[in-house]
Structure 1
Amino acid sequence: MSAGLRVAGVDGCPRLADGSGGWIAVIIEPGNAMKAERIDRLAELVDRPEAPQIIAVDMPIGLPKRVGPNGRAPERLVRPRLGMRQSSVFSMPSRAAVYAALDPRLPDEAERYRHACSVARATSEPPRAVSRQAFHIFGKIAEIDGLLRERAALAGRIHECHPEVSFWAMNGETALDLAKKVKNAPHKPGLALRRRLLAAQGFAEALTSPLQARALKVGEDDLIDACAAAWTARRIAHGQAIGFPTPAERDGEGLPIQIQA
């Protein structure tokens, strides 16, 4: 693909108090100018007049009807490459379990979680519940899933990535030895390591800085992960990305099941 494409990396982030801004996007313009912004929904990014032609998003795409041991193929393939960071790769349940967690008839979060776990156990072999971490991103997974099922042509523009797999590739296909968070708090040495890797790939210090994260009201790790996703989007645009698996598998709706880096 042409080097003149506009690409973006997207990561989920907590919404603001008014309910807006559930995603952080880092956009690389033709000519390599870069900017970061909050967006409310992914459709807003793909439908704007100067929309990115390629988007890499840190969120699962392609949900199986039933799940075997250790989750989807992408998860099984990337975990061994990440060393101590492999716990960052969540096992995704079936599509039915994801949507069970969002059942509007169940207003209580604890009840929705139990319902999602029940459906996940019934659609996995061996029976497996869902993790709390995965449960809390099911709304965003369903947003992407719904968008791609309604608009099949977007499957060629929106691609799944995972920041730790992107950093593995960025680091000479070597797992990073420092975490971004320790006990759910930012880990400055791990964040600094990732900023150095991004700087070597042309991401300005000002773009990845704590000051920029505060200005956008996002976590430092969310901003850094969106930058890693943008790096992957650029590799996809240039035909340089690594796919897990290759070729991509497909779910029952025809959506690709593949992590790219």
Structure 2
Amino acid sequence: MWVAGVDGCRAGWIAVLMRVDDRNTHRIVTASTLADIADAPEQPAVIAVDMPIGLPDRTQGSGRAPEQLIRSLLGERQSSVFAIPSRSAVEAMDYAEACTIAAATSDPSRKVSRQGFAIFPKIREIDALLRARPDLMPRVYEVHPELAFWALNECQALLQPKKVKGVPYGPGMALRRELLRESGLLPDALIEAPPPRGAAQDDFLDALAGLTVALDLARGGGQSFPDPPGRDAHGLPVAIWTLRR
């Protein structure tokens, strides 16, 4: 059985695929679409992707329930958890229009951050894919790298940021690699591998974090926020998953 940890990147998506029964059998790839990863020759049984799945018609408070639940766990890292607005706002192609719709479909009224808007195309892609191919829903899980590192760090928020002012921060990156090593789930050679063309080092690190969750899920672990997951109006799951601790 193969699993995959996936993150968005400049090339589209970066995926780290691994056999559950042999951590030394793995492959790092980039793909232009998430469907390409789901349909890869390995046919990953679990795909843990750092991208929101399941969109509300309206938002109450600071985003979806999963985002509100995990922020309290992440301490100073909670700013990495974007508040995802309503489906109609995510479907807007123009930033000003997205802000107007988001403000009208949220309580309290909230606009859209520029960072959040930048990932809307990938949110729309995964949303369209799962709605068109519901057979993929049991295989695809939403994850957040900082929540994965929280679990790997004995359920403690990390004190070092991964980035400072948009630039990878050496000590924070090193801390996350060390947590991956200490988990024993991944080989050192994979953790220290360079990212492929079209992906940055932090994209690769986030995909590795997702891979640890995928491995745990494949072995019968995993925990979701909320538990059990919610469902949106189209039946898509609404939950962020991490390793069970």
TM category (shorter chain) comes to over 0.9
Is 2:149 aligned against 1:167?
A: yes
Determine which of 13, 16, 41 is the counterpart of 1:26.
Answer: 16
Q: Structure 1 CA distance, aligned partners of 2:125 and 2:239?
A: 18
Aligned to 1:180: 162
| SS across alignment from 1:65 | coil
Q: CA deviation at 1:139?
A: 0.3
The residue number in structure 2 matching 1:44 is: 36
1:13 equivalent in structure 2: 9
Check if 1:73 corresponds to 2:65: yes
Higher strand share: 2
Deviations 1:72-105 (A, max 9, x none): 110110001001000000000011101113xxxx
2: CA distance, partners of 1:118 / 1:161: 28
1:153 is displaced (CA, Å) by 1.6
Larger mean CA deviation between 24-33 and 227-236 belongs to: 24-33
State the shift of 1:239 in Å. 2.0
Which 4+ stretches in 1 moved above 4 angstroms? none
Cross-structure match for 1:242: 223
> How is 1:1-261 mapped onto 2 (pairs within 5 angstroms)?
5-15=1-11, 22-30=12-20, 31-32=22-23, 33-101=25-93, 112-201=94-183, 202-209=185-192, 212-213=194-195, 215-261=196-242
Deviations 1:122-158 (A, max 9, x none): 1111111011111000000000000001111211100
TM-score for both structures, normalised by structure 1? 0.89
The worse-fitting range, judged by mean Cα deviation, of 134-143 and 43-52 is 43-52
1:106 is matched with none
Where structure 1 has 5 or more consecutive residues not aligned to the other structure, the ranges are 16-21, 102-111
The question of whether the paired residues in 1 share the 8 Å contact of 2:10 and 2:198 is answered with no
Residue 203 of structure 1 deviates from its aligned partner by: 2.2
* Shift of residue 200, structure 1, vs aligned partner: 1.8
* In 2, Cα distance between equivalents of 1:182 and 1:203: 26
Aligned AA (1:141): I
User: 1:161: Cα distance to partner?
Assistant: 0.3
Q: Distance in 1 between matches of 2:163 and 2:191?
A: 16
SS in 2 for 1:7: strand
